[in-house]
Structure 1
């Protein structure tokens, strides 16, 4: 087996962690005007320092800030771009049985990635992480941003500012390239693009984002083109990966269905180094679509669920890894949770203790399958 000193790792994570009670309380007080931003930041800093230490103790070779400074996995990034404003939304809820908060983002002008606040978020984690630990920066994918801007709730506003679709695409791509370039200059060597937007092609697709009248094939090709324009000609030592799932809010999901409808475009032609793929339930389908996976690509199997507290049966997971190895050789397979534990600040329905028990199980299985790495 090969060993690596760059993402992905045999024992890996997606990015977000459950927020400690102390952090949740501080965010509530800040929202209510009870404490200033500086006091909130001090609590965030403290909780992130503790989290980075816990990740190291767990045996991880990668660290994130747990997305502790965010309310949402995607909207906070959008709000940090120039030309984007925070709004309230009355759009249709897409999560099964669980109403989400009514926050959104819309354009106020042309899009730019200059001076994004996530740059300082990264620098803080980089400053406290031990040498040899890879600090991962998670971002919503560029096509997730496009998907948001052309949703029914946003389409008219977006068209007012960008009457020409190609100009919108050009500015999205340039904004992302600016942010990634700034992150790289700050020492970032692993950017993960989180992408739920491929779910619009799955069997259980949501109709909440169907304002775009183009065909499925046209939309797939557009998504692939936008992502690849952002990924093109990046530094060779920058690991660019993507995470694909079907929604994650308070343990609820947004869509279901296997990867087959998008496998050829996503797995064979998207220019990432590795894929973090949701595979924790029947909603994700089988491993057969992995036959399209590019021969130079790595696959992180999200076989351990972050949605429920019960620990998986180790033998069942070992059997599923062997099954996946029929399509992608074992040396290109890795293991992680299927998603983060808290894609939004509410978090999934399990405790912090149960969260770390899940990671301990992943480490145990990874060491048994691939040995220490």
Structure 2
């Protein structure tokens, strides 16, 4: 899909039918089989709509997940689904308080919910002229969750007194999952990553420094984790990463431009494409794009998925033109800034407004890259 200049990040608002089925399942009113049937139906309808809309890369909307990241973590051996005293603190609200905690040696056991989800998506798309994309959270994001709070840290130290052993197992578990996805037909894998989005926030780091953290040390740690998990993969597997600053019920968790991390993630991460948020002033300017290698793609997330207001095409075109001063226009593309439902709560807009955003991305891209 080289030179495809419009794209999506991946998650879609959950249909009412799916939300009701998940509630009924949690209440014991619906069996797991019955829940899966509802998921299957909703995913099939979504994929048809994506194809009809003209999207060339399609997803399952992350309809089988509750969270964009935790469900993947819970799928590995050695990980427990736990809760903390509080959830993630976003700008305007606090999330649910679920977490992932080490309870043994971490490994990919051969079965995983993301693998099963992709197999279903692949089966839906195998006869269509589209690419089925799987998204998974970054290895660095996994590490960040495993050391979130004193209870998680204590669990890590119990099973991994040497942090190097933790890194080795995380990297291997991810590598094994990715290879399994590839064998199932995956040729487009997106790594979603909020860790870099937190690192760029100076207010966040003022607190972290007081706790003894060093920004550059952590950047190096994140980079190493991600790159080692992504090494020695098939050449025809397109790897991308989406750098996010938090996306929960239309709120955000971090702010700041990409300059503090550009020398690490832009210059050195082993991916082909960067999906970057540039939907408001929290994102900073386009200048850090100069650090992206010339042969790599940058997908500009200029159309917000957080608010229903529709951007003006002329404004988007002007911003793309500005970005092209730092990275060649032929290696740029346009998308929404994030998914529409990074968690099952979803952002505060309607399904019609969601699709209007996607139509705007497509029509604007077709105008820019004729």
Tell me the TM-score normalised to structure 1 length. 0.95
> Structure 1's 366 and 93: CA in aligned 2 closer, same or farther, altered over 3 A?
same
Residue among 86, 95, 100 paired with 2:95 = 100
Mapped contact 1:151–1:211 kept (Cα < 8 A): no
> Structure 1's 155 and 132: CA in aligned 2 closer, same or farther, altered over 3 A?
same
Deviation (angstroms), 1:91? 3.5
Mapped contact 1:206–1:254 kept (Cα < 8 A): no
Comparing 14-23 with 191-200, which one deviates more in the overlay? 191-200
Q: 1:44 & 1:205 partners in 2: Cα distance?
A: 40
Mapped contact 2:136–2:190 kept (Cα < 8 A): yes
- Give 3-state SS (helix, strand or coil) of 1:83's partner: strand
Mapping of 1:33-52 within 5 angstroms?
33-52=28-47
Q: 2:208 & 2:44 partners in 1: Cα distance?
A: 38
Which residue number corresponds to residue 128 of structure 2?
A: 131
- How many residues are treated as equivalent by the alignment? 366
Mapped contact 1:309–1:355 kept (Cα < 8 A): yes
Which residue number corresponds to residue 227 of structure 2?
A: 228
Mapping of 1:299-338 within 5 angstroms?
299-338=298-337
- Give 3-state SS (helix, strand or coil) of 1:17's partner: coil
Which residue number corresponds to residue 158 of structure 1?
A: 156
Unaligned runs of 5+ in 2: none
> Structure 1's 99 and 290: CA in aligned 2 closer, same or farther, altered over 3 A?
same
Q: Does 1:142 align with 2:174?
A: no
- Give 3-state SS (helix, strand or coil) of 1:193's partner: strand
> Structure 1's 209 and 172: CA in aligned 2 closer, same or farther, altered over 3 A?
farther
Mapping of 1:58-97 within 5 angstroms?
58-91=53-86, 93-97=88-92
Q: 1:60 & 1:204 partners in 2: Cα distance?
A: 37
Mapped contact 1:147–1:209 kept (Cα < 8 A): no
Which residue number corresponds to residue 176 of structure 1?
A: 174
Q: 1:17 & 1:296 partners in 2: Cα distance?
A: 30
Q: Does 1:275 align with 2:277?
A: no
Which residue number corresponds to residue 120 of structure 1?
A: 116
Which residue number corresponds to residue 243 of structure 2?
A: 244
Deviation (angstroms), 1:90? 1.1
- Give 3-state SS (helix, strand or coil) of 1:222's partner: helix
Unaligned runs of 5+ in 1: none
Deviation (angstroms), 1:209? 7.5
Deviation (angstroms), 1:212? 7.5
